[in-house]
Structure 1
Amino acid sequence: MRVDPYSLARSALAGAAAGIFASFAMNQFQAVVSNPGSSSGRGGDPATVKAAERLVGHGIEEREKGRAGEAVHYGFGAALGMAYGAAAEIEPWITAGFGLPYGSAVAVVADEALVPATKLSGLPWASPPETHAYAILSHLVFGAALEAARRVVLRVV
């Protein structure tokens, strides 16, 4: 199967834009449903702030931590959206389940495996079950919002 480079780029960029929207939707969901556990699992700053500090190579001033964490959150969401958009162009079955399987995969791979493996949070088994449920629900919102926004963006551009 040959994929047109223009279509692939268009889909990837639509996915990136959709990823930013999906990150916003996830934030709104989390604002309504408060996290029952620590956002970092290790005390202190959220994983997004810890990641931002690693990216810049030093600690971030307290007044800048919120913005730095949001930049990581939205940047990661855009990257995930770009990957999803490109994958959907190559293999349309990726969109089956309206983004929910993708959101679930992001929750498991990123939150449950990569974030603890990079020591941005504590070990998964150290967190209560409701924290895991909160993370999975948040990423299901991300996945569904990602697919909805991707479809809208592709219709517009």
Structure 2
Amino acid sequence: MSKGPRPLIGLFAGVAAGLVASAAMAAFQAQAQKLLPDSGDEDPATVKAADAASEAIIGDPVPAPYRAPAGQAVHYIAGAVIGGIYGILTEYQPEARSGFGSAYGIATAALLDEAAVPAVGLAPAPDETPLVVHAYGAASHLVYGWVLEGVRALIAGRR
């Protein structure tokens, strides 16, 4: 039996694990948000991303009754894609699993929450964001990383 990389298994395991990890992250966020100061009526970045996609496709934002589900769809799609990347990456670079997915979770927080999302105008710049919100994002992505690695390892196995 070959011990080389298995990119298709990695992709499948990563996508499936990314979906489960996204659900765990959403559950964590639902509880953690109770501890955060009220941020007003501003839409989350996922809803803003859904609006941007809708405006690009049909010329209008997501209709009001569909805003929350559209934001959730963006969250799960992003989680599945990021999980798929992780699954393939771990097949070629096992050290990507460092800290039982912690390093990947923090890397996604840094790249997404701190860089990409503000850069495209879906969230304020990092220096305009309260420290507690940065901590919330990092903790959320740690949960994502831990669950991602746990489920990925169950599906693809440890090698």
Same topology, TM > 0.5? yes
8 Å Cα contact 1:37-1:128 kept in structure 2: no
1:45 aligned residue: 43
Matching of residue 132 in structure 1 with residue 134 in structure 2: yes
Matches within 5 A, 1:3-152: 3=4, 7-34=6-33, 36=36, 44-57=42-55, 58-152=60-154
For structure 2, the residue ranges without an aligned partner over 5 or more in a row are none
Q: 1:17 is aligned with what amino acid?
A: A
For structure 1, the residue ranges without an aligned partner over 5 or more in a row are none
Structure 1 distance, partners of 2:65, 2:53, is: 18
TM-score (norm: length of structure 2)? 0.88
Structure 1 distance, partners of 2:51, 2:31, is: 27
Cα deviation for residue 56 of structure 1 reads 2.1
Cα deviation for residue 43 of structure 1 reads 5.7
Q: How many residues align?
A: 150
1:122 aligns to what SS in structure 2?
A: coil
Cα deviation for residue 54 of structure 1 reads 1.3
Identity %: 41
Q: 1:54 is aligned with what amino acid?
A: A
8 Å Cα contact 1:103-1:144 kept in structure 2: yes
TM-score (norm: length of structure 1)? 0.89
Q: After the TM superposition, list the runs of 4 or more consecutive aligned residues in structure 1 that deviate by more than 6 angstroms.
A: none
Structure 1 distance, partners of 2:50, 2:19, is: 17
Cα deviation for residue 136 of structure 1 reads 0.3
Structure 2 distance, partners of 1:3, 1:61, is: 48
Q: 1:152 is aligned with what amino acid?
A: L
Structure 1 distance, partners of 2:142, 2:118, is: 20
Q: 2:50 is aligned with what amino acid?
A: A
2:62 aligns to what SS in structure 1?
A: coil
Structure 1 distance, partners of 2:7, 2:101, is: 18
Q: 2:147 is aligned with what amino acid?
A: A
8 Å Cα contact 1:37-1:127 kept in structure 2: no
1:33 aligns to what SS in structure 2?
A: helix
Structure 1 distance, partners of 2:19, 2:49, is: 18
